[in-house]
Amino acid sequence: MRYVVGCLAAFVLGGCALDPFVTIGGETYTSYAGNWLIENNIDPITGIAVPSARVYTIRSSSASLEYFAKPASMQLTCSDKDPVVKFSYDFKVGSSPNSIFGYRFDERPGHDNVNVRFLHNARAIVIEDRASVVQFIRSMEGTKRLVVRSRSFNAGRSVTEFYVDGSELAIKAAFASCPLEPKGPRSTS
C-alpha cells in the first residue's frame, strides 16, 4: 500500500521546483502515519494552515461496476473550522435523497444510517455533522480496518475497505486547526 501511495506522491511531487499550488495535485506531502498520507498545506489566499490526512484503497466493489474494483480514498480535514470526513470514489455511490451509509471498524459494532451528505456528482460522501464526525473518529481510534457501505436506488450497493492503522497521528494532524471537542453555547457577553 505504501508503494502505491509513494508512487502517487512521487508523481505529484515531480514538479517540486514549482510552487505547490501550481503543481498537478497542489498538495505538499509531509509525512506518513501507518497507511495515512499527511498533507500540510497553506491556503494561498488566507495564509492559514489547511492540514489533512488521506488513506487510499483499491478494495472497493459496487453493483455499478461490472468486473473490476476501483480506487477510493478517505480524507480527514477541516472545513471552515469544522471537522469533516470525506470519501471519494471513481464511480457513483449514491445521492442524498435515496441513499444510506454505514461503517464498521474491526469487529466493533457497526453504525448504520449515518448522517451524511452525498455530493452532487454522486461520487463522494461527506460526514460533516460534528456529532457524527466525532462518533466516527472516536470509533476509529486504535483500529486497523474500516469497512464502509452505501446503498442507493440510483447506484446500487457499494462496499469499500480501508486499512486505517496509524490513525491516531493522522487524526491529530488533520484536525489540528479544528479540534473535535463539541462546540459550546455561544457567549452573549
- Residues 157 and 102: their CA atoms lie apart, in Å, by 11
User: How does pLDDT run across 139-176, given as a tens digit for each residue?
Assistant: 999 999 999 999 988 778 889 999 999 999 999 999 98
SS3 88: strand
Question: How is residue 187 annotated by DSSP?
Answer: P
User: How does pLDDT run across 58-110, given as a tens digit for each residue?
Assistant: 988 777 666 677 899 999 999 888 999 999 998 888 887 789 999 999 999 99
- Predicted confidence at residue 26, as pLDDT, reads 53
Q: How far is CA 4 from the centre of its chain?
A: 17
Strands 49-57 and 36-42: antiparallel
SS3 97: helix
- Predicted confidence at residue 25, as pLDDT, reads 52
C-beta separation of 84 from 133 below 8 A: yes
Place of cell 461527506: 126
The Cα-based distances of 17 to 14, 50, 138 in angstroms read: 8, 21, 39
User: How many residues are given for the chain?
Assistant: 189
Domains and CATH numbers, the chain: 27-174 (2.60.40.1880)
